[in-house]
Amino acid sequence: MTAWNKLLVATTRLLDLHDSAHEPGSPFVQVNQEQRRGLRDGYWLDLGCLLLDYLLEVDFATNSAFVTQRRCLSHLRGEYPALPADDLSFVINLLATPSEIHYREWQAGPADNELAPGERSGRSTKRTALIEKQGQTGQVRLTPSGRQAVTLASQVEDLLYSEYDAAKVMAALSRGDYARVPDITQQILMAIRALTQELRRVRENPTHEGKLAALEENERHYHNALSTIQNTLLSARAQLSAPGVAEHFAHWAEQQETEWDLRMLSGAIGRVLNAIENLSRRLSELLSDIAEGRIQSMGVIDFAGLAQRLLLAPPPQRLQDAVVARMMPLGTRVAIPRVETLLPLVETRRAERSGAALVFDEAGDRPGADPLLARYLKARGPALRQRLREAPLSLPEALREGWHRFDDEALDCLPQLLNTFVDTQLLDEHLSVGIDDTPFTIELPDGRRIEGAVTPSLRVRETTVPDQDV
């Protein structure tokens, strides 16, 4: 019943929100642990899930025909030999009785009045019964809601079955249903990210030997699934560049209410390909570590306790010297800004296209330099060095003068500009960073607000006065 458990875990807290009697606007925001009623042994839930699974099998075999309760009882007694008929009748009556669900939907204003705003109005539905029961004979079958619930429970996000989702992308493109492509790629991306997070958890705390054995056993299947998904999506992206598809997409986009661009589809497919590259690297590294015996159970490390023990009992002097030599700056006269104040402004960028192999081929797979940073330094570096020779330049002044703009001020290079204040050798080896204990606040034209507790500035280091501190 793992699939049903995952479905319940994902929806239980939403049901708690639906049933909550919390007053809107109340300042009492703390939540206590709910005490749920029931036997708390999972008996009734297990009976209901087994019954729904059986009814779905019969639904496919009989083309949604009604089934007698005697057949259901005979099937369930394979799991519970002493199951009373009254217990089954109770489960059927409960699942066949609808319960009202209240929700809200967005309702747009009148089409002829652009000034009338839309609103989220309340709605409700009673189509929550999972089983349909005949009044005279008592025979049962799944309702549309019940069939959807069993289908959702069975569709657990698993990468081994996502290759069929990749084929749906090709089907959507062939039918011209372009709006479905981002949703399908998002499902594949969720499955890839789920396995990626599982690999990360196994590497951080490999205490469950069963997970390692399962990864080794399914290694070939993961390889085949990744290869199939990759080849299918590459074919889909190549199909987008065909002239007929581009013309058909342009005609389709004109008829849509929201704005669509062909790059939205190629970008959605590209995100999945990048995720496959990341997953294949992590999976191959983990399997290599397993083969060479580098995976060991470590447990959870209490770094706070480790730091406290180091303060109470310092390590040997030779170890202290080695750590200081590797971590301290080479020159004590260099003023280094606090990284904490600049971390919110730093953005990690990667190339849009990677020349590395995507699946299980890491020969020569090395991270490349940021191409945007190199282009920024080549284009803006000479003028920025000339500006620094005239006078020191603080970060607020650099932003006001527009040094974060590049390529006719159409490209925002704020992270690249910040890199020059962190690593001064990017511009010139004779630059140094000074820190002024003055906070600053800047409003950029695009609405972003940049704040800093201190003000860093760049200046040319004066080599003729060696004893002067920056």
Q: Identify the DSSP state of 402.
A: T
Q: Span 26-38, mean pLDDT?
A: 79
Spatial contact of 230 and 359, defined as CB atoms under 8 Å apart: yes
What are the tokens at 16? 């708690």
**Phi, psi of 125, rounded to the nearest 5 degrees:** -145, 150
DSSP state string for 284-307: HHHHHHHHHT---------HHHHH
Q: Span 309-319, mean pLDDT?
A: 84
- Of the pLDDT bands very low, low, confident and very high (cuts 50, 70, 90), residue 131 is very high
Nearest to 406 by CA among 395, 415, 394: 415
Spatial contact of 329 and 432, defined as CB atoms under 8 Å apart: no
Per-residue pLDDT at 214 exceeds 80: no
Partnered with residue 132 across adjacent β-strands are: 141
- pLDDT score at 340: 60
CA dist 470 and 457 (Å) reads 11
Nearest to 15 by CA among 100, 107, 122: 100
pLDDT per residue as tens digits for the range 380-391 = 888 888 888 888
- pLDDT score at 467: 45
- C-alpha distances out from residue 159 to 112, 183, 300, Å: 47, 16, 28
CA dist 59 and 57 (Å) reads 5
pTM for this prediction: 0.43
| Percent of the chain with pLDDT strictly greater than 90 | 10
- pLDDT score at 415: 81
- pLDDT score at 301: 61
- Of the pLDDT bands very low, low, confident and very high (cuts 50, 70, 90), residue 82 is very high
- Of the pLDDT bands very low, low, confident and very high (cuts 50, 70, 90), residue 407 is low
Nearest to 389 by CA among 468, 458, 333: 458
**Phi, psi of 297, rounded to the nearest 5 degrees:** -75, 120
| The pairing of beta strand 101-107 with beta strand 393-394 | unpaired
- pLDDT score at 465: 44
The mean predicted confidence, pLDDT, of the chain is 77
pLDDT per residue as tens digits for the range 320-371 = 888 777 776 666 565 566 656 655 555 444 444 455 444 544 444 444 445 7
- pLDDT score at 468: 43
Neighbours of 251 (CB within 10 A): 10
Q: Identify the DSSP state of 32.
A: P
Q: What angle separates helix 181-204 from helix 163-175, to the nearest 10 degrees?
A: 160
Map out the domains of the chain with their CATH numbers.
Answer: 2-15+37-105+120-154 (1.10.10), 159-292 (no CATH), 339-350+370-460 (no CATH)
| The pairing of beta strand 101-107 with beta strand 411-412 | unpaired
CA dist 46 and 387 (Å) reads 73
- pLDDT score at 113: 53
Q: Span 130-158, mean pLDDT?
A: 81
| Percent of the chain with pLDDT strictly greater than 70 | 77
CA dist 267 and 187 (Å) reads 15
- pLDDT score at 339: 59
Spatial contact of 229 and 160, defined as CB atoms under 8 Å apart: no
What are the tokens at 455? 């003000």
What are the tokens at 415? 């992270």
Which one-letter amino acid corresponds to residue 92?
I
Query: CA torsion 264→269→274→278, rounded to 10°?
Result: 130
Q: Span 109-128, mean pLDDT?
A: 69
Say which residue, 84 or 304, is predicted with more confidence: 84
Q: Span 64-93, mean pLDDT?
A: 92
What are the tokens at 270? 């590209």
Per-residue pLDDT at 65 exceeds 50: yes
| The pairing of beta strand 405-406 with beta strand 449-452 | unpaired
| The pairing of beta strand 131-133 with beta strand 140-142 | antiparallel
Per mean pLDDT, which range of 74-78, 158-162, 375-379, 450-454 is the poorest? Answer: 158-162
Per-residue pLDDT at 155 exceeds 60: no
- pLDDT score at 120: 75
Spatial contact of 89 and 69, defined as CB atoms under 8 Å apart: yes
Per-residue pLDDT at 298 exceeds 60: no
Which one-letter amino acid corresponds to residue 40?
R
Per-residue pLDDT at 117 exceeds 60: no
- Of the pLDDT bands very low, low, confident and very high (cuts 50, 70, 90), residue 291 is low
CA dist 161 and 167 (Å) reads 11
CA dist 414 and 349 (Å) reads 12
CA dist 176 and 151 (Å) reads 26
**Phi, psi of 299, rounded to the nearest 5 degrees:** 80, -175
pLDDT per residue as tens digits for the range 164-201 = 788 888 888 888 888 888 888 888 887 787 777 777 76
Q: Which residue has the tokens 């080549």?
A: 378
Partnered with residue 411 across adjacent β-strands are: 406
- Of the pLDDT bands very low, low, confident and very high (cuts 50, 70, 90), residue 105 is confident
